Amino acid sequence: MPPRVALRDCRERVPQGPYGWDKSLRSVHVVSSKDQQIDENHIRPIGVLKRQPTLGGEGDDGSEGEEDDDDDEEGEGTFLHVSSEERKLRDITRRHRDICKKYVQIKSKAKSVEQYFGGPEVFHRFLEENGDVLGAVGEKGETLLHHFARQRKGQLLVRHLVGNFPELVHQKNWNGYTAPHIAGVQDTCNQQFIKAILKTREKIPALHQECGNGNLLHIILQSMLPIVEIVHNALKEVSDAQQRHKILEDLFACRDKKGQTPLHVAINTIARHNTGLTTPDIPPMIRFISFALAENPQALSHTDNIGRTPLHVAVKAIGDSFASPPPSQPSPNIEYLIDWVQDLTTRCPREFYKRTEDNRLPYELLGSAKNYTVLRKLSEDIKRLYMRELSVDELKEILYDVRTVGTQPHSSGPGGEKTIYFDLSNDAENNYTYKRLTRLARHVQFESILHHVDLPCLTVSGGENLLEEPQSDQEESRRMSSLPGRVDFVKVFQWLRSKGVSEIIDVSVVDDFNTPHCEEAIEMALRGFGVEILNWNRFDMPSDAIFNAAPGVRELYLYSSSNNEVLRGWSAPGGLEKLKRVRADKFLILKHVLMTGYSWKNFTSASNE
pLDDT score recorded for residue 339: 94
pLDDT score recorded for residue 437: 81
What topology does CATH give the domain 233-389?
1.25.40
pLDDT score recorded for residue 144: 95
pLDDT score recorded for residue 30: 38
Task: Say if residues 546 and 519 touch (Cβ distance below 8 Å).
Answer: no
> Integer distance in angstroms from the first to the last C-alpha of the chain?
113
Query: Distance between CA atoms of 301 and 351, rounded to whole angstroms?
Result: 7
Q: What 3-state DSSP class applies to 487? A: coil
pLDDT score recorded for residue 451: 96
Angle at which helix 84-105 crosses helix 120-134, to 10 degrees, equals 150
Instruction: Kindly give, in sequence order, each residue whose CB lies less than 8 Å from that of residue 527, ignoring residues fewer than 6 positions away.
Output: 548, 549
Query: For the whole prediction, is pTM greater than 0.95?
Result: no
Q: Which residues of the chain have pLDDT under 50?
A: 1-60, 63-76, 403-414, 471-477, 591-601, 606
pLDDT score recorded for residue 603: 52
Query: Distance between CA atoms of 387 and 506, rounded to whole angstroms?
Result: 9
Task: Say if residues 387 and 461 touch (Cβ distance below 8 Å).
Answer: no
